[in-house]
Every structure is written in C-alpha cells, then in structure tokens.
Amino acid sequence: MPSTPPLPPLPPLPPSFGGRDDEPASAVPVAPPAAAPLTAPAAAPAEPSRWEIKRPGNPLPGTAPAAPRRAQQPRPGGRSARAQPPRPGGRSARAQSRPPRNRLLVPGLVLAGIAFLVVVVLGVVFAVGVIGAATSSALFGGQAADGGGPAASGTEVVPALFDQTVTYDDGLQISVAAPQSFSPSPQASGAGQPANIAVTVTVYNGGATDFVPGTVTSVVSAGASGNPIVDPSNGMTGLPPAATVPPGATVSYVEAYSVADADDVVYVVTPAAAYLPARFTR
C-alpha cells in the first residue's frame, strides 16, 4: 500500500487566547448587576362607557378629537351645495306659483262656439231665402190670375178649385175638371192603388204670341203621391202634350192617376217654367 504523507503542524495560538493550556488563567473581576428601582405598576386605561362611544362627537380616550367640518363653498353658477329636502313624490319642495284656475272657462268657450254655429246657420238660411225670393220675383214677377181664379201675384202657388180657370197676365188660361172615376184597360200600367181617377186639363192661349208648353203635373191623395197611369188603349201616354199652342187656340187632354182616396185629390200643374204653379182642389 502507498504511504500517507504527514500532516502539517498546527499554527500557534494567539496571546489573547490565554496562553497555553498548561498555564493557569488569571481571574478577571466581574461587577455584580445593579438592582433595578422598584416602581408601581402603571394603571390600565379605563374602558370608555358605551354611552360615550355612541354619542356623536365624543372621541374615545387616547384619540384626538375630530377636526371640525369646513363650510362648503358655493358651486360655480351661484347655486348652493346644500341639498334641498325632497318633495312628496320625489320632487323638490320649492313652491310654484300658478294663477287660479277658472272653472267656468271651458263651459263658456263651449257655449260661445255653439252660439257662433247658430249664428252662421241662421245667416246661411237667411241668405238662401233672399236669393230664392229674388229668383222667384225675376222669373214670375208680373204674372197674375183672374177670371175664375184668385190673384196669383206675389204668391208661390195659385190656389184654385176644380172646374175654375186660372188666367195669367199674358193671357194664358188653364183649367182642370173635377176628377172622375176611371177603369184602366188590361194593358194599362201604374194602377196599383185603391182608386183610379181621370182629370181633363184645358189650356187656352189668350196672348199675342205662341205658347210653348213645358207642363209639369203632380197629384197628392190622402198625403200620398198618386201614380200616373199609362193606358195606350185609352189614349193616355202619361205625358202632357208638348205641341206649340198658337194665339187664340185651345188644347185639351186627359190624364189618369191611381190614388189612395178619390175624394181627397190635390192636382198641381205648372204650364211652363216662366209661370207660377196652379193648385186645384175640391
């Protein structure tokens, strides 16, 4: 086996270590510790009561008092930063000034509107009446009835009795005979009411010019309109003659009607547009 080399020698100890191990160590005097002065134990801080803790603004013992709050500065725009108490329903409690409400305002406006409408309607009716009167005067002015009938000047209808004669101021005369019972032929049409009558109309031109008829007739019986009867077998076409009547000539024709009551008949005839209608009754 190979041999191990010898260890190097240890370094000498420093002098402060106390010298060698075989030399006695010198005694070093040690001062005894100083006794601490006796003091009384510090008293524990008193626990604040609950009333002091809950009262606002009362700081706890051992704490600094709360600093006073600073006054709030006004906001830009001149408004104060102080909160306003809410109104009932979430609105501000600031009072609003409103003028007193007049309870009669709405009914008054309604009555005024109704009165305005009434005035407008009356004005329209009056205007229509004036225009109608002026038109009638322009069309029928100067015409009159004499002879067998009463005066027709200034009236809308010339009243007369059956078998009388109505004479106009230009010399035209017209008469209507009393209604007679009539029996239509099987080929007749329009006979649908309880009674059937026939009337004879006579026109005499007593003027100096030709008379061009534009005759319009109507019959009312017991408040109901009569139906014209067309009966070619008896020469009734349901229309008055339209031939011109020269001066001094006379034309007669027969018309038949179906009516509600043969004893209650009103026959109205207008010779032409420029003449007043003549109404014949019993």
Strand partners, 204: 173, 250
| CATH no. for 158-281 | 2.60.40.1240
The residue ranges of every structural domain in the chain are: 106-140, 158-281
Q: Where does residue 222 rank: exposed (0-12), middle (13-18), buried (19+ CB within 10 A)?
A: middle
The CA distance from 24 to 19, in Å, is: 9
pLDDT at 100: 61
Backbone angles phi, psi at 223, to 5 degrees: 80, 0
Q: Indicate whether this model's pTM tops 0.95.
A: no
pLDDT at 48: 53
Closest by CA position to 241, among listed 220, 268, 267, 212: 212
Q: What is the 3-state secondary structure (H, E, C) of the chain?
A: CCCCCCCCCCCCCCHHHCCCCCCCCCCCCCCCCCCCCCCCCCCCCCCCCHHHHHCCCCCCCCCCCCCCCCCCCCCCCCCCCCCCCECCCCCECCCCCCCCCCCCHHHHHHHHHHHHHHHHHHHHHHHHHHHHHHHHHHHHCCCCCECCCCCCCCCCCEEEECCCEEECCCCEEEEECCCEECCCCCCCECCCCCEEEEEEEEEEECCCCCECCCCEEEEEECCEECEECEEHHHCECCCCCCCCECCCCEEEEEEEEEECCCCCCEEEEECCCCCCCEEEEC
CB 225 within 8 A of CB 218: yes
Q: Which residues contact 173 (CB under 8 A, 6 or more apart)?
A: 147, 165, 166, 167, 203, 204, 206
The CA distance from 62 to 64, in Å, is: 7
Greatest C-alpha distance within the chain: 199
pLDDT at 193: 95
The residue whose two tokens read 């007669």 is: 252
Output the tens digit of pLDDT for each of the chain's 282 residues: 556 666 666 666 665 555 555 555 555 555 555 555 555 555 655 555 555 555 555 555 555 555 656 655 656 555 554 555 556 555 554 545 565 666 777 787 888 889 888 888 888 888 877 676 554 444 443 334 443 333 334 458 999 999 999 999 999 999 999 999 999 999 999 999 999 999 999 999 999 999 999 999 999 999 999 999 999 998 888 888 899 999 999 999 999 999 999 999 999 999 999 999 999 999
pLDDT at 269: 96
pLDDT at 123: 84
